[in-house]
A = this chain, B = another copy of it.
Amino acid sequence: MNESLIAYHPLNGFCKEIFLKIGCSEKDARLATEVLLSADIRGVDSHGVARLSGYVRLWESNRINATPNIQVVHETPSTAVVDGDGGLGLVVAPQAMAIAIKKAEVAGTGWVAVRNSNHYGIAGYHAMMALEKDMIGISMTNASPLVSPTFSLDRLLGTNPIAVAVPADKQPPFVADFATTTAANGKLEILQRVGKEAPEGWIQDAKGAVSTNPHELKDGGALLPLGGDRDHGSHKGYCLGSVVDIFSAVLSGANYGPWVPPFVAFLPLPENPVGKGIGHFFGAMRIDAFRPADEFKAHMDNWITTFRNSRAVEGEKVLIPGDPERWMEEERRANGIPLQIKVKEDLIQLAAKFGLQHPF
């Protein structure tokens, strides 16, 4: 058995204790936990509790401020720039998204660029905050450079995800949430653990040649932009990753490109930073700033059912973005979240470090 199951609530309680131990307020600890575990509950295991000890190590290296003074430093009716004061991205991001939503209530749309933040968990959580307000939510972030632009040998972009959440009526919402690379780093980590090769088009070696070795990044290799190679449109994935980097960091005054700070505390911070921390970008668009929300949502139901009911390749189903994560959430809320042994051991060590009871 490589995994054991844990129910959501005890895991939530434990995470919150850890965030309190590093000095977060009760409110921030609750929020950070909810955002972090929204990844585990939706099946994006790479971005959830598996990263908790990573956040703690960043805090130990003084790279995370547990009591940030999160501030709007510039604004117009439909925009704001937020300085996260080095706080947890898990706390800074939902607050910035809440500002985008407030702007949209008045101006029709709201757009918030964030600097001086850290890793913000899954992109989709923040985008989905807009749904209950009958708004479309957009969320993106830059990240540590692991990705080479088309034809480059240097790692200049992160996996820079984009999430877009769109409300429907009787149908569940449309929720796209994806890295702008062929494969997210988390998928590579899974292959590393099970000792399998990666498909061609995911990674290149140090000389830019095709590689299927999931450990290639340790030897100067890189992840590839969505598309994989030039013939398959990697220049489009490179465009997408670049747009995320520019919106998140050049607009906000965060670090961009190769200057984005690493998530792992054992790697040094890049020299001569070009901004503050990492950057995010959020958008909220009120549906009724375009057409009546009921009308829009009825058409979204039609859009969703048309796509879902289209003819499928034998043995497969046509999915709507957000389907797999929603099904995973139903299953995990009912039956618990599977924790890999390595992750569980990591959490037990965290408990020991802070003198806490653990639920494992």
Least distance between A78 CB and chain B CB atoms (Å):
4
Contact residues in B for A179 (Cβ distance below 8 Å): 236
> In this assembly, does A166 line the interface, its C-beta being within 8 Å of a C-beta of chain B?
yes
> In this assembly, does A289 line the interface, its C-beta being within 8 Å of a C-beta of chain B?
yes
Give the docked Cα–Cα distance between A316 and B234 (Å). 14
Residue of B108, B152, B245 touching A310 (CB-CB under 8 A):
B152
> In this assembly, does A353 line the interface, its C-beta being within 8 Å of a C-beta of chain B?
no
Q: A109-B111, A300-B250 are in contact. Are A81 and B178 (CB under 8 A)?
A: no
Contact residues in B for A319 (Cβ distance below 8 Å): 150-151, 235
Give the docked Cα–Cα distance between A113 and B300 (Å). 16
Give the docked Cα–Cα distance between A111 and B183 (Å). 31
> In this assembly, does A79 line the interface, its C-beta being within 8 Å of a C-beta of chain B?
yes
Q: A227-B226, A250-B303 are in contact. Are A109 and B312 (CB under 8 A)?
A: no
Are A178 and B296 touching (Cβ within 8 A)? no
Least distance between A192 CB and chain B CB atoms (Å):
17
Contact residues in B for A1 (Cβ distance below 8 Å): none
Give the docked Cα–Cα distance between A300 and B249 (Å). 10
> In this assembly, does A76 line the interface, its C-beta being within 8 Å of a C-beta of chain B?
yes
CB-CB contacts of A97-123 with B at 8 A, as 1s and 0s?
A: 000000000111101010000000000
Contact residues in B for A150 (Cβ distance below 8 Å): 318-319
> In this assembly, does A231 line the interface, its C-beta being within 8 Å of a C-beta of chain B?
yes
Residue of B nearest to A295 (CB): B253
Residue of B181, B227, B233, B250 touching A299 (CB-CB under 8 A):
B250
Give the docked Cα–Cα distance between A150 and B310 (Å). 11
Are B81 and A78 touching (Cβ within 8 A)? no
> In this assembly, does A333 line the interface, its C-beta being within 8 Å of a C-beta of chain B?
no
Contact residues in B for A178 (Cβ distance below 8 Å): 233, 235-236, 239
Interface centre among A236, A242, A246, A274 (most CB of B within 10 A): A236
Residue of B107, B111, B287, B302 touching A285 (CB-CB under 8 A):
B111
Contact residues in B for A166 (Cβ distance below 8 Å): 243, 246, 250
Are B306 and A156 touching (Cβ within 8 A)? yes
Are B79 and A316 touching (Cβ within 8 A)? no
> In this assembly, does A321 line the interface, its C-beta being within 8 Å of a C-beta of chain B?
yes
Q: How many copies of this chain are found per oligomer?
A: 2
CB-CB contacts of A265-281 with B at 8 A, as 1s and 0s?
A: 00000000011000000
CB-CB contacts of A312-350 with B at 8 A, as 1s and 0s?
A: 111011110100000000000000000000000000000
> In this assembly, does A251 line the interface, its C-beta being within 8 Å of a C-beta of chain B?
yes
Q: A235-B319, A250-B300 are in contact. List 11 more A-B contacts (CB 8 A).
A: A77-B78, A79-B290, A153-B310, A164-B243, A166-B243, A166-B246, A207-B313, A228-B232, A242-B307, A250-B296, A252-B291
Binding site for B on A (CB under 8 A): 74-79, 81, 106-109, 111, 113, 136, 149-154, 156, 164, 166, 174, 176, 178-183, 199, 201-202, 207-208, 226-228, 231-233, 235-240, 242-243, 245-247, 250-253, 256-258, 274-275, 285-287, 289-291, 295-296, 299-300, 302-303, 306-307, 310-314, 316-319, 321
Cross-chain pairs A/B with CB under 8 angstroms, 19 sampled:
A79-B290, A81-B290, A107-B108, A149-B310, A149-B318, A152-B312, A152-B318, A154-B310, A164-B239, A178-B239, A181-B233, A182-B227, A202-B232, A226-B236, A227-B232, A228-B232, A251-B290, A257-B307, A258-B306
Identify the 9 closest CB pairs spanning chains A and B, nearest first: A76-B108, A208-B313, A176-B239, A151-B316, A79-B108, A154-B310, A79-B289, A78-B78, A153-B311
